[in-house]
Structure 1
Amino acid sequence: MRIRLHGTPAETAAALTALAHVLTIRTISRPYPDRPPSTRHRIYLDATPRKDSRP
């Protein structure tokens, strides 16, 4: 699946860490900054569910 994370660099890093516990992250894009004056950016992930995280 393809996931878009959008937020500050700290927010997207924290979300990526949390997602890595339940998903296998295959690829991570470079950060794409929003237009100024925004301090947010977007990163895109390709991921699959981890087999060990299913109930």
Structure 2
Amino acid sequence: MRIRLHGTELECLRTARQLARVLDVLDISPPYPDRPPSRLVRIYLTTDQPTDHDSHNTQGD
């Protein structure tokens, strides 16, 4: 999966860290700034479903 985070750089990095707790994060892009005057960035995560199914809820699979 490819997930796009959009917000301040700090918000995006914190959220990426939290997502890494429940998903296998394969890659995190550098922050891409929006056009001025925006101070927001985009960060892209490449993820996979967790391989440890015992510790995660897999209902709906």
- State whether TM-score is above 0.5: yes
CA deviations 1:4-55 (Å, max 9, x no partner) are 0100011001101110000111011121100111110001111012133422
Distance, in Å, in 2 between the alignment partners of 1:33 and 1:18 is: 21
- Tell me the equivalent position of 2:56: 54
**Count of residue pairs brought into register by the alignment:** 55
- Tell me the equivalent position of 1:7: 7
TM-score, normalised relative to structure 2: 0.80
Over aligned residue pairs, what C-alpha RMSD do you find?
1.1
The answer to which structure has the higher strand fraction is 1
1:8-47 alignment runs, 5 A limit? 8-47=8-47
Is the radius of gyration larger for structure 1 or structure 2? 2
Q: Structure 2: 5+ residue runs without aligned partners?
A: none
SS in 1 for 2:35: coil
